[in-house]
Chain A
Amino acid sequence: MNRVELALRTFFWIFFKKEFRDKIAPYFDYKRQIGVEEEAEEKAVPVVLPQEKKTRRSDAVGLLALLQREGRLVDFFKEPIDSYSDAQIGAAVRDVHKDCAAVLERVFDIIPLVEKEEGTQMPVLPGFDPDQIRLTGNVAGNPPYNGILRHCGWKANRCELPLWQGAEEAVNVVAPAEVELN
C-alpha cells in the first residue's frame, strides 16, 4: 500500500469506523472531542514545526547527524582501523561508546522487550506476535511452546528525534565542515 492510498483510507475510516477512530485518536491527543473523558492535563507535545516552508529531512540523516555531533560515530566508522593497535582503538571507543549510549538513552530510552533473565524458561503462547518473538532451534508443531530465552530483545520506549529546519541544500549534511579562524 503506498502512502497516498494509506492516507486516503485513513481519512475515510475516521468517519466510518468508530473502532479505528478510537485507535487513531490518542496519536493526536484528540480524546475530548470523541467523547473520552479527559482532564485538560497536558500530553507530551512534540516540538511543532514553525513553518511549512522549511524542509523536512529524513529521520535517518537526523539521527546520524546527532550521533556524529555528540558521539563522533560517523568519524569512527569512516576511519580505516587496520593500522591501529587494539589499545589505540580502545582508547577512542570508550568515548564514542559513552556519548552514543547517552544519545540512545535520551532519544529512544531503549528497554528490554522481555523483562526476564536470559537463559531462563520462557513460555510462548498461541497467537504470539512473530514481530516480537522470534523462534529458533527445533521449531515444530504448534504453540504453546516452552523454550529458553536467549535474547531479551530491545524496544524503544520513545522516539524523540531533534527537529531539523535547515535549507534544502543542507538536507543531507551529516556534519558541517569546520574552519577555524585565527
Chain B
Amino acid sequence: MASKYAIGIDLGTTNCVLAYRTLEEENAEIKLLEVPQASAASTIENRYSLPSFCYLATEAESAAAAFSLPWDDNKDYAVGELARRQSADVPGRTVAAAKSWLAHSRVDRRDAILPWNAPEDVKKISPVEASRRYLRHLVDAWNNKFPQEPLALQQVVLTVPASFDASARELTMEAARLAGLPESLVLLEEPQAAVYAWLADVGDGWRKKLRLGDNLLVFDVGGGTTDFTLIGVEEENGELTLKRIAVGNHILVGGDNMDLTIAHVARNIFADKGINLDPWQSVALWHSCRAAKEHLLSEDGPQVYPVTILGRGSKLIGGTVTAELSAEQVKSILAEGFFPICKADAVPVRKSASGFRELGLAFESDAAVTRHLANFLRVQGQNGVSVQPSHVLFNGGVFKADIFKSRTLEAVKSWFGEDVESLEQNPDLDYSVARGASFYAFVKQGKGLRIRGGAARSYYVGIETSGPAVPGMERPLSALCVVPFGMEEGSQIDVPSEEIGLVVGEPAKFRFFSSSVRHQDTAGTIVERFNDTQIEETDSLEADLPADEKFTDMYVPVLFQSRITELGVFELWCRSTISDDSWKLEFSVRENQ
C-alpha cells in the first residue's frame, strides 16, 4: 500500500506536535492533528499539542480506569495535558523533560530512572520509554482518526535537536521504532525543520530573499534548550541551493529558565510584603510569571502587571495574593540576563557551582544566549574571524516577544557593523517545527528543494598511541576521525588507519568522541592531544567478538568502516583484514562514569 500522507512529528522537551499533508497534491495545506488526551481524571479533550509529560498512576487510579483513551482502556499512566498539570501537584509521579535526559550521557537512558528523585514505590520508567509513550500516543491518535491509513505506512519525519549526537539520535530512533513508527522513519534537525516551514510558506519566493553567498542563522530557543545552525546559500548547476554548514553544541537554557528567573524576582517582592510562598504557590507563581512576561514584553504592553496567586481552597478571592512586576524590571532582567549586548569575542562563563540546577540535569551556568551565539559564530569561523550571518530565522516560543529578536539583531549588528535581516516567519512559532518536518517528508519524495547537510559533526574513535608503556602512566589517547563533517547520507567510508587488534571472545570497547568545530578533518585524521572545547566525549562503542575456531591468534586485526544510512543513522563497523567477518559497534549507553 502506498503512503498517502507526509507526516512531521516534533518530539519536543515540553510539547509534541504532529503535522501532516497529503502527498497527492502539489500545494496541499499542512494541517495539525488534534490529539485526544486526558485533561483530568476520566476526561478526554482534543488539543493540537501533547505536553511531553507522563504521569504514573496510583493503583487506585489505574483500577478506576481514570485514564482510559478512545483506543486504550487500561492505562496505568497518562501523557499530555493531565500529566502536565500533575507535574506541579504530584512531581514525584510525573516524568518531565525526558528529552533532555536522552542526551545526557552520564546516565543509562534505558534504565528506569524517571521521575528523578521519585518515591520508592513509584514504578519508574526510562527516558527511552517516556519518549516511546509520547510517540505511541501520537501514533494511536493518528490511527484512531485515519483507520484506513495507518501511520506505519506513511512517510514520517521526526525532528531532533541539531545538537543531538549520534547516540542520542539512535536512542530517539529506538523509542520511535518501539512506538510503531515506520521503518522508513527519517530524522531531521529541528532548525532545518524551521527553515522548511519557512520554505513551505514563501514557496519559490525564497530565491528572491536569499542570494548566493548568504549565511542564514537559525536561532532556535525552545523551552529547555537553545540551538544554533548556519545554512549557506550555494550554487549548483546554475541553481541556488541551501547547505547546512554548521551546528552548535547542546545548550541547556531556554524559555523555562526565563520564567523561573522572573518567578525568583516576584518571590522576593512577596517576601518583602511578608508573604512566604509554599511549594504549591511557587508553582502557581511560575505559571503566573509566564503570563506576566508575555504581557509585559508585548509591544503595547502595560507598564506594570500584577502577578497573582489565587487562593488554593474554594476561597478564591480571600486567599489571593498579588505583587506588581514592572515592565522595565522584567525587560532589564531578561534582556540583560539572557540577551545581553555582548562583545563579539565574548566567551560563555563556565562555572559549575551556580546557575540553574534542577532534576539532576546539567543546566548551563551561563544563561546569556547571545554570548553563546557570539561563541558559536567565532568557533565556526576561521583564524579568529567570526562567521557573519546575513539573515536570521528565529524559532521557538520565546521569540513571540519581539524584544528578544531586536536584542539579537542589535547584538549581531554590533559585532559586524552591518545589519542582519530577520526573515518573516509564520507567527505560530509553536507549530513550525512539526509543519516544517511535514513539508520535508513531502519534498524528500523528490518534489522540491532540500537542504543539503550530511553529518552535523565529525566523529572520532579513541585509540591508544602505541609506544612503550610507562608504568603508572596512562597511555596518551589520540582521536581517529571515522566520520568527517558533512559526510552524506547513504555513503560509507573505509577509514584509512593502522590495523587495530581486537581480542577474540571478548567485547571490544572504544571511547567515542565528536566535534562540532573540526570541519577540516578527513576520515583517518589522527588528532593528538585534544581538549574538550574542541572534541567532546560521548557514549562509548562496543562489539561482541564471539570466539571462533578460524581465529587461531588471540587478536583479529581490523579496520574501521563508517556508514551513514539513507535514513541518517550512523553505523561503525570493524572489518577483519584476515577474513570476511565484520562486527557492528553499538553504543553502550550504560557505563559512562
Contact = CB atoms under 8 A, between A and B. Distances in A.
Interface of A: 40-42, 44-45, 47-51, 62, 65, 69, 72, 75-76, 78-79, 81, 84, 88-89, 91-92, 94-96, 98, 160, 162-167, 170, 176, 180
Interface of B: 22, 34, 36, 39-46, 64, 66, 68-71, 73, 144-146, 148, 280, 288, 291, 306, 308, 310-311, 314-318, 320, 322
Contact of B308 (A44, A49, A92, A160): A92
A95 B308 CA distance: 7
A164 B40 CA distance: 9
Contacts of B44: 47, 162-165
A63 to B, nearest CB: 12
B46 A65 contact: no
Contacts of A91: 306, 308, 320, 322
Nearest to B319: A92
Contacts of B288: 95
Task: Give the most central of B34, B43, B44, B308: most A CB within 10 Å.
Answer: B43
A88 B320 contact: yes
B34 A162 contact: no
Contacts of A42: 145-146
B43 A92 contact: no
Contact of B70 (A50, A160, A164): A50
Contact of A95 (B22, B64, B69, B310): B310
A38 to B, nearest CB: 14
A36 B71 CA distance: 30
Given A44-B34, A92-B310, A51 B73 contact: yes
B316 A76 contact: yes
A79 B315 contact: yes
Contact of B318 (A44, A48, A79): A79
Contacts of A78: 314
B70 A47 contact: yes
Contacts of B144: 48
Contact of B291 (A69, A84, A98, A166): A98
The 8 closest A-B pairs by CB, nearest first: A166-B42, A75-B316, A162-B45, A163-B44, A91-B322, A92-B320, A92-B317, A47-B36
A9 B145 CA distance: 31
Given A45-B145, A91-B308, A165 B320 contact: no
Contacts of B70: 47-50
A50 B68 contact: yes
Contacts of A45: 145
A47 B146 CA distance: 13
A44 B318 CA distance: 43
Given A162-B39, A165-B68, A166-B41, A92 B316 contact: yes
Contacts of A167: 42, 64
B294 to A, nearest CB: 11
